[in-house]
């Protein structure tokens, strides 16, 4: 099975900060990497698919990069509504999709 | 507007059974693969099961294989998850999610239904 490891597990930042979250796969997954945002009590929301493609309607301050085993999600200038938990997910292995453990982004 | 609405959750004793449903609307259900994803209280997301648009291909996470059965009825625009031999560790919010086939990402999610396994 492909394991996904996110870092950090939690992060404190201020409005206006630039934030980067990292996701590492246990083997190469090409660009089959997706990012989701989840707020408390709500369903996850797709932000980025195929490592770097911005989902329709998602603000351009969100961006993704990487391929192979190492990926990043960057928020260029944090807004109050961005404080949430972020998950990466590999879709390379359709027999067993896996998510990272999540990164909780909190207000400093 | 794409909508996915789960139902069927509730309290069940260990060893019991439950059937979840997901009603889809706002898109051509029969053209999309679907998935179930769960989230235990205070924990992360865990993929549970996948079914292709025609039901010809089905996958399960190892943690539910042999106990859960995914199915769909394209005429009724509905997705199902039959859960048998439930365990305490199956307690979670269960989400249905539409899969965009090109890149296998989950572009729409339901609001979730809570399953609690407890005696």
pLDDT tier for residue A74 given thresholds of 50, 70 and 90: very high
Interface contact A35, partner B, CB < 8 A: no
Residues of A in contact with B46 (CB under 8 A): 99
Measured CA to CA, the distance from residue A99 to residue B1 in angstroms comes to 27
pLDDT at A71: 98
A54 interface with B at CB cutoff 8 Å: no
CA distances from A81 to A42, A49, A55, A73, A84 (A): 13, 20, 17, 16, 8
Residue A108 scores a pLDDT above 90:
no
- Which chain B residue lies closest to A85 (C-alpha atoms)? B44
Asked whether the predicted pLDDT for residue A26 surpasses 90, the reply is yes
Percent above pLDDT 90 for chain B: 97
Mean pLDDT along residues B55-78: 97
If DSSP codes are grouped into helix, strand and coil, which group holds residue B57?
Answer: coil
Backbone angles phi, psi at B7, to 5 degrees: -155, 170
DSSP A30: T
How much is the average pLDDT of A36-58? 97
**Per-residue pLDDT tens digits for B3-62:** 999 999 999 999 999 999 999 999 999 999 999 999 999 999 999 999 999 999 999 999
CB burial string B37-59: b at 16+ within 10 A, e below: bbbeeeeebbbbbbbbbeeeeeb
- β-pair type (B113-117, B10-12): parallel
Whether the upstream peptide bond of residue A8 has omega within 30° of 0, thus cis, is yes
> How far does B20 lie from chain A, in Å, by closest CA?
17
Say yes or no to pLDDT of A17 above 90. Answer: yes
Residue A43 contacts B, CB cutoff 8 Å:
yes
Give pLDDT, residue B72: 98
Average pLDDT, chain A: 96
Contact list in B for residue A46 (CB cut-off 8 A) is 105-107
Reported as a pLDDT band with limits 50, 70 and 90, residue B104 is: confident
Best to test chain B binding among A97, A98, A100, A104 (most B CBs inside 10 Å): A97
Residue A94 above 80 pLDDT?
Answer: no
A94 interaction partners in chain B (CB closer than 8 Å): 50, 59, 104
Instruction: Inform me whether the pLDDT recorded for A95 exceeds 90.
Output: no
Extract the tokens encoding B23.
């009603």
List Cα–Cα distances, A78 to A38, A45, A81, A105, in angstroms.
15, 17, 8, 10
How confident is residue B95, by pLDDT bands cut at 50, 70 and 90? very high
């Amino acid at each position: 099975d492909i394991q996904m490891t996110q870092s950090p597990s939690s992060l404190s930042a201020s409005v206006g900060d630039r934030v980067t979250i990292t996701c590492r796969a246990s083997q190469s997954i090409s660009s089959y990497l997706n990012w989701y945002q989840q707020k408390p009590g709500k369903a996850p929301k797709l932000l980025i698919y195929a490592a770097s493609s911005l989902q329709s309607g998602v603000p351009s301050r969100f961006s993704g990069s990487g391929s192979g085993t190492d990926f990043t999600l960057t928020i260029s200038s944090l807004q109050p509504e961005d404080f949430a938990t972020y998950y990466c997910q590999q879709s390379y292995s359709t027999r067993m999709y896996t998510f990272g453990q999540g990164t909780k982004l909190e207000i400093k | 507007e794409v909508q996915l609405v789960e139902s069927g959750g509730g309290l069940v004793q260990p060893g019991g059974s439950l059937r979840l449903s997901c009603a889809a609307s706002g898109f051509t259900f029969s053209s999309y693969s679907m998935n179930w994803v769960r989230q235990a209280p205070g924990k992360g997301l865990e993929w549970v099961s996948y079914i292709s648009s025609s039901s010809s291909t089905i996958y399960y996470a190892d943690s539910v294989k042999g106990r859960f059965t995914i199915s769909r009825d394209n005429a009724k625009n509905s997705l199902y998850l039959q859960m048998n031999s439930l365990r305490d560790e199956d307690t979670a919010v269960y989400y249905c999610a539409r899969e965009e086939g090109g890149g296998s990402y989950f572009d729409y999610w339901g609001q979730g239904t809570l399953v609690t396994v407890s005696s």
